[in-house]
Structure 1
Amino acid sequence: MFKKGLAILLTVILVAGLLAGCGQKTPEQAEKTKLKIAMVTDVGGVNDQSFNQSAWEGLKRAEDELGIKVSYKESRQDADYGPNMESLLDEENDLIWGIGYKMGNLVKEEAEKNPEQKYAIVDYAYEKTPENLVGVVFKAEQSSFLVGYIAGKMTKTGKVGFVGGVKGNVIDGFEYGYRAGVKKANKDVKVLVQYADSFTDAAKGKAIANQMYKDGADIVFHAAGGVGDGIIEAAKEQNKFAIGVDRDQSNLAPENVLTSAMKHVDTAVFDIAKSLKEGKFPGGTTVVYGLKEGGVDIAPTSNKHVPADILKEVEDLKQQIIDGKIVVPYNEKTFSEFK
Structure 2
Amino acid sequence: MPKKVMAVVMIAVLAFSLAACSSGGGGDKLKVTMVTDVGGVNDQSFNQSAWEGLQQAGKDLDIKVSYQESHQDADFVPNLETALDAGNDLIWGIGYKLGDPILEAAKKSPDTKYAIVDFAYEDTPENVVGVVFKQEQPSFLVGYIAAKMTQTGKVGFVGGMEGDVISAFENGYHAGVEYANKVNGTNVEVIIQYAESFTDAAKGKAIANSMYQQGADIVFHAAGGVGDGVIEAAKEQDKFAIGVDRDQNYMAPDNVITSAMKRVDVGVYNVVKDLKDEKFPGGTTVVYGLEEGAVDIAPTSDKHVPKEILDEVEDLKKDIIDGKIEVPFNEDTFNDFVNSL
TM-score under structure 2 length normalisation: 0.93
Equivalent residue runs for 1:113-192 within 5 Å: 113-187=108-182, 188-192=187-191
Tell me the equivalent position of 1:272.
Answer: 271
Return 5+ residue gaps in structure 1 as ranges: 1-6
The one-letter amino acid paired with 1:285 is T
Number of residue pairs the alignment of both structures matches: 330
- Distance in 2 between residues matched to 1:14 and 1:87, nearest whole Å: 42
Aligned to 2:66: 71
Q: In the TM superposition, what is the alpha-carbon distance from 1:28 to its structure 2 partner?
A: 8.1
Which digits, 9 at most, give the CA deviation of each residue in 1:135-177, with x for residues without a partner? 0000000000000000010001000000000111010100000
**2:22 and 2:28 in contact (8 A); partners too:** no
Aligned to 1:262: 261
1:204 paired residue number = 203
1:26 Cα deviation from its structure 2 partner: 2.4
2:51 aligned partner: 56
Query: Which residue of 2 is the match for residue 104 of structure 1?
Result: 99
In structure 2, what is the equivalent of residue 242 of structure 1? 241
Question: How many Å apart are 1:297 and its aligned residue?
Answer: 0.4
SS at match of 1:98: strand
- Per-residue CA distance 1:236-275 (angstroms, 9 max, x = gap): 0000000000000001000000100000000111101100
Letter paired with 1:195: Y
Identity of aligned residues (%): 68
Q: Which amino acid aligns with 1:322?
A: I
List alignment gaps of at least 5 residues for structure 2.
none
Mean Cα displacement is larger for which, 130-139 or 29-38? 29-38
Conserved? CA contact 2:90–2:114, under 8 Å? yes
Question: What SS does the aligned partner of 1:49 have?
Answer: coil
TM-superposed CA distance for 1:22, in Å, is 8.1
CA distance in 1, matches of 2:210, 2:27: 54
Within 1, Cα distance between the matches of 2:192 and 2:241? 14
- 1:329 pairs with 2:324: no
Is 1:44 matched with 2:39?
yes
Out of 19-28 and 228-237, give the one that drifted further: 19-28
1:3 paired residue number: none
SS of equivalent to 2:221: strand
AA partner of residue 142 (structure 2): V
Structure 1's consecutive aligned runs of 4 or more residues displaced over 4 angstroms after TM superposition are: 13-20
CA distance in 2, matches of 1:181, 1:26: 57
Q: CA deviation at 1:23?
A: 8.7
In 1, the alpha carbon distance for the partners of 2:38 and 2:254 equals 29
| Amino acid across the alignment from 1:175 | E
Q: CA RMSD in A?
A: 1.9
What secondary structure does 1:287 align onto? Answer: strand
Paired residue for 1:35, among 30, 35, 45?
30
Which amino acid counterpart does residue 78 of structure 1 have in structure 2?
D
Give the letter aligned to residue 37 of structure 1: V
Question: CA offset at residue 184 of structure 1?
Answer: 1.1
Q: Looking at CA atoms only, which structure, 1 or 2, has the larger radius of gyration?
A: 1
1:24 Cα deviation after fit: 3.5
CA distance in 1, matches of 2:157, 2:262: 17
SS of alignment partner, residue 258 of structure 1? strand
Alpha-carbon deviations, 1:44-68, whole Å to 9, x = none?
0000001100000001001110001
Q: Match of 2:52, SS?
A: helix
Give the Å deviation of 1:106.
1.0
Residue 76 (structure 2) pairs with residue 81 (structure 1): yes
User: What is the correspondence of 1:296-315 to structure 2 with a 5 Å cutoff?
Assistant: 296-315=295-314
The one-letter code of the counterpart of 2:66 is S
- Distance across 1 between alignment mates of 2:60 and 2:31: 14
Could you tell which deviates more after superposition, 26-35 or 93-102? 26-35
TM-score by structure 1 length? 0.94
Matched residue of 1:292: which SS?
Answer: helix
Equivalent in the alignment of 1:4? none
